[in-house]
Each structure stands twice: as structure tokens, then as C-alpha cells.
Structure 1
Amino acid sequence: IDDATWEHHLRAGDYSEWFRHQIRDKELARETAEAEKDEMLSAQESRKHVLDAVRRRYTAPATAPEE
């Protein structure tokens, strides 16, 4: 989405609310809320913050652990 739309929803707290109530992930919501409250972050920086949080929580390791 374009920067203006991203920032509109970011500043409204929509992303953290969605993670909290639809995804039911309070920790991801908390991390996302940090980006929502940090007005010094650019659209690109806040996207990276949120995307990194999602990836940390929902990306499986590239290789299976050795048994």
C-alpha cells in the first residue's frame, strides 16, 4: 500500500488492534504498537519494524533441527 494509507492505519493503531483481536497475538500487537507510537519512524522504517516482528514470530527455520 502507499505510504499515506500505511501511515493512516499505523497512527490509528489499526495494525496492533488487528494482531490483538483477529490474530490473537498479544506480543505481536505489543511490538507493533511500539512502531505505531514512534512518530519519528518513517513509513519505510515502521513497515520494517512490523514486518520483522511478524517474521520473528511466524517464519519457521529454513532447516529442520537435527535429531
Structure 2
Amino acid sequence: MAEGIDDKTRDYHLRAGDYSDWFRHQIRDKDLALETTVVEKDETLSSQESRKVVLDAVPRRYTAPATAPDAQR
């Protein structure tokens, strides 16, 4: 869903701290919120860079690996 938001709108909410606030209070993921806060405050990141960092963080935390690791025998 976030991929469909235009840069101007996304940047507004990013700089306002809305993403980390949402992760902290709605998703209740303190670590994801802290990771996102760093991006929100980093004004050296371009719109595309900050979008990528945040969009990469979510599946890294919430997507299971495609294959299960081999069981120890």
C-alpha cells in the first residue's frame, strides 16, 4: 500500500513522524518504530532512499523465509 503513495504525501508523513508513531502505537513494534525514527530524522536521505529503507524493514521483520532451515540431527 505504501508504494502507491506519492512522494510529497509520503515525505510529509515521514517528516511528521507518522510512520514510527504508527509502528509504535498501532503495530506495537518498538524496534521497527526506532528503526523508522532514524530514517524520519535523516534529512540526507532522498525520498526514494528513505522509502526503500522503510519498505525493506517491514518484510525483513514480518516475512518468513521461503524455506525452513534444515533440522539438526
When normalised by structure 2's length, the TM-score is 0.87
How big is each residue's C-alpha offset from its partner over 1:2-61, in whole Å with a ceiling of 9 and x where there is no partner?
A: 000000000000000000000000000000001100011111100111012112211110
The Cα RMSD (Å) is 0.8
Match of 1:41 in 2: 45
Residues 14-53 of structure 1: matches in 2 within 5 Å? 14-53=18-57
Match of 1:2 in 2: 6
Which AA in structure 1 matches 2:67? T
Q: How many percent of aligned residue pairs carry the same amino acid? A: 76
TM-score (norm 1): 0.94
C-alpha distance in 2 between matches for 1:51 and 1:60? 16
Gaps of 5+ in 2: none
Matching residue of 1:56: 60
Number of residue equivalences: 67
Superposed structure 1 runs of 4+ greater than 4 Å apart: none
Task: Between the two structures, name the one with larger relative contact order (CA 8 Å, sep ≥ 6).
Answer: 1
Counterpart residue identity of residue 32, structure 2: L
* Equivalent-residue separation in structure 1 for 2:58 and 2:47 (angstroms): 17
Question: Which is greater in Rg?
Answer: 2
